[in-house]
Amino acid sequence: MVACRAKDRTTETGYVLVATAIGVVALLSAVGLAIDLGRMYVAKAEAQNFADAAALAACVRLDGTAFGLERARAVVTESPNRWNFGTRLFSQVLIEFGRTATGPWESEPATAVGYRFVRVTVQADVPLSLIRLLVRNDTGAVRAQAVAGQTPLPRVSQGSCPFSPLAHNAVPPHFGLIPGQLYTLRWAANPKLNNPDTVCPGDARPEIVQLAMADGHSERGYIEDTSASAIREAILYNAQTYTRGIGDSVVPTGGVKQTIRDALRQRVSMDTDPYSPNFATYIAKIRNRSASRGNGVRLIVCPINTGPPAYRVVQFATFFLLPAEEYRQGASFPFCAEYVGAAYVQGSETPGAGEPGFYVVRLVQ
């Protein structure tokens, strides 16, 4: 009897040891699984954050040129962002371009024209600990993808400057304006064709001056409230008073408003390249990666209108502000800006890659 009981106790002890061993293995496996899955979850979030930021940064640089594609690639590949709390590079980074939000996608498009979408795909290889005993792999691949696009806005509520240059004809997309030429933001009080100091070169035509002065107002060009402070806010901080779209009418407001000159000069000074005399010099510095290259603050967007009586908006267009000293004190001088093109991308240092219009860069996937 005694021998039998001793044997039973030995057997029970063996069962307990086996069960304990199995339980410990199961517990360690669960802990290992939790740790590995947790690391992969964090890595996935870091990868998605990188893909989102990279797609947005790349997309804003697309301008319909091969140089724009090059800049888009560079801003992704040169990004300091990493995963594993900033300590590891991604094992794979793929940058692709498309004309639509759904592709087709190309890493090396034959032409840059019309490519205004970017897709960024990244992969992080997360080292595994205990879970690798189950999956027989030292790492687990975590992938993330984001698509950003230059999205046209049918109506603009923030971002356009409080000026509206005149269209010269009814032919889109430029409506008679010539890239590289200077046009009027604010008209002088008494413009005279025989006095070039009173008329911007691009508007120095009898029919345009007559159109500007047709309803007897002076200081033509402002389209915000009559409040000078509202106009300054719009120049410096893109704070519009009114929402505008193609086909809407703008309402010009008068007054000398000399403080507006100070706001224009201040906006120019906010650019990292306040000195380039024209857009060609400005963009050349960006392409050459000059230390004094601009940040895009001198690029503004203005609605172009048909003049009186309707003042109908026919296009949103990009203009380049001149060096600060070009904006002179006094009602006898106009405020001029260089016409750049008909596609504006908010926050970009260059015109956009799409059709004419006002674009914002957004994540679309």
Over the chain, what is the mean pLDDT?
86
Cα(199)–Cα(181) distance, rounded to whole angstroms? 13
Query: Which residues are CB-contacts of 109 (< 8 A; sequence separation ≥ 6)?
Result: 69, 97, 115
**Listed range (178-192, 214-228, 276-290, 292-306) with the worst mean pLDDT:** 214-228
3-class secondary-structure state, position 196: helix
Cα(183)–Cα(203) distance, rounded to whole angstroms? 6
Residue 134 or 73, more confident? 73
Residue 303 or 213, more confident? 303
Q: How confident is the model at residue 90 (pLDDT cuts 50, 70, 90)?
A: confident
Considering only CA atoms, which of 240, 256, 62 is closest in space to residue 159?
Answer: 240
Q: 100 pLDDT exceeds 70?
A: yes
Q: 249 pLDDT exceeds 90?
A: yes
